A and B are shown apart, each in its own frame.
Chain A
Amino acid sequence: MKKMKEKQKKRLKWNTKCVLCLMPSFLGTLAFFVAPFMRVIYYSLIDNQFRRNFVGLDNYIDTLGNRYFLLALKNSLLLIVICVPIVVILALAVSLVLSYGIRWVRKTRAAFVLPLVIPTAGIALIWHGVFAADTSVLPVYLLFIWKNTGICVVLLTAAFTSVDPSLFEAARLDGAGAFTLHKKITVPMVMPTVFFVSLLTIVNSFKIFKEIYLYYGTNYPPDHSYTLQYYMNNNFLKLDYQSLAASAVLTSILIFGIVMAGMALQRRYRQ
């Protein structure tokens, strides 16, 4: 009896220690992200930092009616609709060949993964040189595709190669052809990763800012490249914290919604 109690005590202590391990990260996140974010929500509900009158949702209504916010929102969504399918399909094709193709072809993988880590601040310059005469949105899209295909290739290749080869053997013995093999085995096994990769690319599309910023080298790019991040960045520079706070909260809600919808869809697909 006594021994058991002691053991329980020790286990409790172990659990406390494990919880303590979380603390450095929790405290840092609290100090630099959570607590300040509460302040941002507060800022989005007052008229300005000096008078501090509570104005309800006025800042949000202003933001949602702002021409530039709507333009930025449209451009950000357009980037998703056009580029995400391209990235995912390209990555699928590349990783299919990398997983099942000829051996020397596999060595080219590094070329697709490199843009993932290469510091884009150094690369945006050459974009400037090459596309100097181009006034369309194409360079921005290319930059996005170039940078984000790599991570999808890594994840998809891992998914393809983790399909158990003995499954193929068994099915082949049962007389299945190559097409049926892939349709019945590879596709269902890889589908969740395809889904995850699409979600990841959508999220990453909100993260491409400094590349576009360095490419244009100005706070006011052509209309077609003016994204949500520009809107927020410029409000930051103008010290218009109320508009920035409102648009930051709106953007977080948008991303939160996308991630949650994605996860819910995935759960449904699995059932």
Chain B
Amino acid sequence: MKKLIGIIFALLSAVFLLPVAATVFRSFYSEGGFTLGGYKDLFFDCFVFYPMFWNSVLYALAITLAQIPVVILCAFGFTWAKFRGKGLIFVFYIILMMMPLQVTILPNYIGLRDMGLINTPWGIILPMIFSPFGVVVMHQYMKNTDASVIEAARLETDSVFRVILVGVVPQLRVCIFAVALFVFAECWNMVEQPMLFLSDGRLKTMSVFISEAGSYTGAVLFPAAVVFLIPVLLLYLFFSDSLEKGLALGELS
């Protein structure tokens, strides 16, 4: 029985890993044999690749770095501020979090157009900074943190920022890593926003490159997909533990 379950699980996990493995395999395989030709085409002959890669890095990093402070502050406010309608606003955040992108993309577009941010990097970065996912998860997590540490910190200083830095952030390390990784992965994987909000080719991202890679010369499609997977894979290898803990505790309680 134990052996049977073991075999089933080995197979099942292999099936779940298969798409990633197959993508890597396929990037080295073309016209009947093993080759590095695709990578050579991508790295040396495909001049649009590098700017798009760096755009992806820039957008994802900027959004993640800007979102984390906003999220921590907001979750802190939701946990400690007392005012009427707080619960209702939080429910609104949850519902906003559950809306698919196609519902929010027209409001997004209209807002950006009015502000003159269409076809600028800000059009991609700004709305994503305020995506509600991190706030919801972090607030659920923060509810269970040790309040006495915060009380103690309040005796020491008057500044809210000091209190958060000393009393809250150390307790939230796992959750912050989890949210950061998740947000980074989300931004890295954006397809619709760069496609719809950007018309200037120089601003577009790697995900757009992949969706159009068929039109470039050489077999760059799968090598590009592999390069696209690597940053998130590396982050996942380093932070998978905190990702699971952060998400589990955050959503459950």
Interface residues of A (CB under 8 A from B): 14-15, 17-22, 24-26, 28-29, 31-33, 35-37, 39-40, 94, 97, 101-102, 104-105, 108-115, 117-123, 125-127, 129-130, 146, 149, 151, 154-155, 157-159, 162, 193, 196, 200, 203, 206-207, 209-210, 213-214, 217, 228-229, 232-233, 236, 241, 244-245, 248, 251-252, 255-256, 259
Contact = CB atoms under 8 A, between A and B. Distances in A.
Nearest to A108: B13
Interface in B92-113: 93-96, 98-112
Contacts of B10: 108
B64 interface: no
A245 B106 contact: yes
Contacts of B74: 21-22, 24-26
B73 A21 contact: yes
Q: Which of A114, A121, A245 has the most CB of B within 10 A?
A: A121
Nearest to B76: A21
A97 B9 contact: yes
Contacts of B16: 111-112, 114-115, 146, 149
A202 to B, nearest CB: 9
Nearest to A21: B77
Interface stretch (B32-40, B42-50, B239-247): B239-247
Contacts of B78: 22
Q: Which of B9, B26, B95 has the most CB of A within 10 A?
A: B9
Interface in B204-222: 207, 210-211, 214, 221-222
Contact of B81 (A19, A115, A251, A252): A19
Nearest to A31: B111
A28 B101 CA distance: 17
B26 A129 contact: yes
Contacts of A31: 111, 115
Given A108-B9, A251-B103, A29 B130 contact: yes
B154 to A, nearest CB: 7
B141 interface: no
B210 A125 contact: yes
A91 B235 CA distance: 24
Nearest to B241: A110
28 contacts: A15-B83, A18-B160, A28-B129, A28-B130, A29-B130, A32-B111, A33-B111, A36-B107, A109-B244, A111-B12, A111-B17, A114-B236, A121-B210, A122-B228, A123-B229, A125-B210, A126-B26, A154-B244, A158-B248, A158-B252, A209-B102, A210-B189, A210-B192, A233-B102, A236-B102, A241-B106, A251-B103, A255-B98
B102 A126 contact: no
A112 to B, nearest CB: 6
A28 to B, nearest CB: 3
B59 interface: no
A244 B226 CA distance: 35
B112 to A, nearest CB: 8
B229 to A, nearest CB: 5
- Chain A contact residues, majority secondary structure: helix
Contacts of B107: 32-33, 36-37, 39-40, 248
A37 B69 CA distance: 25
Nearest to A153: B244
Interface string B183-209: 001001101100010000000000100
B22 A130 contact: yes
B19 A127 contact: yes
Given A17-B160, A108-B10, A228-B102, A117 B236 contact: yes
Contacts of B83: 15, 19
Given A248-B102, A248-B106, A25 B130 contact: yes
Contact of A113 (B96, B108, B154, B243): B243
B52 to A, nearest CB: 12
Given A114-B236, A119-B185, A40 B110 contact: yes
B157 to A, nearest CB: 12
A116 to B, nearest CB: 8
A139 to B, nearest CB: 11
Contact of A122 (B109, B126, B210, B248): B210
A152 B154 CA distance: 38
B70 interface: yes
Q: Which of B95, B98, B126 has the most CB of A within 10 A?
A: B98
A116 B241 CA distance: 14
B71 interface: yes
Given A21-B73, A31-B111, A121 B182 contact: no
Contact of B100 (A18, A206, A244): A206
B20 A22 contact: no
B116 interface: no
Contacts of A22: 73-74, 77-78, 81
Contact of A94 (B12, B23, B182, B188): B12
